[in-house]
């Protein structure tokens, strides 16, 4: 089952997602399945306490992942040896690009 798109109103997207969860659609619906899907998209409903708790848990996991990712991406101070190596690499790159540009200029 595909997840319906949000109607553009804040907060409504979570309701639509919750309504299309496996718990909501797990009961046998038969011929009414199509009509129920249409109703889910057009008529938002209040979330049950269990759905709210599931959303809170999911958000908690998402927040935890985001915090870990931000921590992983933090800028770290380089050691003295790392700085020396970086400067040496950059000097080498600068020398190479200067030579490459000079060679291209002379070929013109």
Domain membership flag for residue 43: yes
Q: Rounded distance, CA 87 to CA 48, Å?
A: 59
Domain membership flag for residue 58: no
Per-residue pLDDT tens digits for 48-105:
999 999 999 999 999 999 999 998 888 888 899 999 999 999 999 999 999 999 999 9
Q: Rounded distance, CA 76 to CA 83, Å?
A: 12
* Global model pTM greater than 0.75: no
Domain membership flag for residue 7: no
Contact of 54 with 91, CB cutoff 8 Å = no
Spatial CB neighbours of 14, under 8 Å, sequence gap ≥ 6: 47, 55
| Domain span holding position 95 | 12-52+70-107
Residue 35 pLDDT level (bands cut at 50, 70, 90) = low
| Secondary-structure breakdown of the chain: helix, strand, coil percentages, each rounded to the nearest 5 | 70, 0, 30
């Amino acid at each position: 089952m595909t997840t319906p798109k949000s109607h553009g109103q804040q907060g409504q997207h979570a309701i639509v997602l919750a309504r299309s969860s496996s718990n909501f659609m797990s009961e046998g619906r038969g011929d009414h399945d199509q009509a129920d899907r249409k109703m889910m998209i057009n008529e938002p409903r209040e979330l049950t306490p269990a759905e709210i708790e599931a959303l809170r848990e999911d958000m908690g996991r998402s927040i935890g992942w985001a915090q870990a990712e931000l921590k992983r991406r933090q800028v770290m101070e380089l050691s003295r040896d790392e700085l020396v190596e970086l400067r040496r690499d950059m000097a080498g790159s600068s020398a190479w690009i200067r030579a490459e540009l000079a060679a291209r200029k002379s070929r013109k």
